[in-house]
Amino acid sequence: MLFDTPWQELVFAIGGFAFFVALLPSIFSDEKPAFATSFTTALILSLFTFAFYTLDMWLSAAGQAFVTTAWWTLCVQSWLRR
């Protein structure tokens, strides 16, 4: 299965997981991005996740789902700090 996956999907999937790991310090720190930034990013990434899913790009959708969840978490955190 993994060896039949196009290289582009692996790039998107690995990139998604890497972005997720890069966002962890922001999630656990006291400083948060602006609410508008978090909300807009989370919304657009939700659409990307759905697009990957509808193209049967499961690994890409999974990687994107992690990043999307991280941005929604930041969005809620910045909303609660208002």
- State the residue range of the domain holding 45: 33-82
Is 58 part of a structural domain of the chain?
yes
Is 21 part of a structural domain of the chain?
no
Q: What is the pTM of this model?
A: 0.91
- Is the Cβ–Cβ distance between 48 and 40 less than 8 Å? no
Is 70 part of a structural domain of the chain?
yes
Question: pLDDT digit of tens for each residue in the chain (82 aa)?
Answer: 566 889 999 999 999 999 999 999 999 999 999 999 999 999 999 999 999 999 999 999 999 999 999 999 999 999 999 8
The 3-state secondary structure of the chain, one letter per residue: CHHHCCHHHHHHHHHHHHHHHHHHHHHHCCCCCCHHHHHHHHHHHHHHHHHHHHCCCHHHHHHHHHHHHHHHHHHHHHHHCC
Is 8 part of a structural domain of the chain?
no
Is 5 part of a structural domain of the chain?
no
**pLDDT at residue 2 in the model:** 62
Is 7 part of a structural domain of the chain?
no
Q: Per the structure, how many domains does the chain have?
A: 1
